Amino acid sequence: MDSSVSVLLFGIVRDLTGQSAISVPLHEGANVEELLGRLHQQYPSLAGVRSLLVAVNGEYAEPTQVLTSRDEIALIPPVSGG
């Protein structure tokens, strides 16, 4: 692992991990898909959350988007209400 990224957690994701932010070690050039894979290894209960979105620097990210340690990353669970 070359560095780590900070990830903000909201809603059910925060409840499942018991934290509002975590640091995740990743190798240089890792992408969103790899981040999610690492999070599912570290927190298996997250696998039950459907439609989990990842925002990078305030915009929704594709699975192939490359991450850096300077990025602001947030996990956004499905939201319901009306």
In a domain, 51, yes or no: yes
Q: Is residue 81 part of a domain?
A: no
Question: Which DSSP string corresponds to 56-78?
Answer: ETTEE--TT-B--TT--EEEE--
Is 27 within the bounds of a domain? yes
**Six-digit token string for 39:** 């999070």
pLDDT over 70 (residue 81)? no
CATH number for 18: 3.10.20.30
Total domain count, the chain: 1
Q: Which residue has the higher pLDDT, 30 or 2?
A: 30
Quote the percentage of the chain above a pLDDT of 70: 95
Beta strands in 10-63 (DSSP E): 21-26, 53-56, 59-60
Domain that holds residue 67: 3-76
pLDDT above 80: residue 79: no
Does residue 82 lie in a domain region? Answer: no
Position 82 scores a pLDDT of: 53
**pLDDT, tens digit (0-9, with 9 covering 90-100), for 14-51:** 999 999 999 999 999 999 999 999 999 999 999 888 88
Residue 24, in any domain of the structure: yes
pLDDT of 53: 93
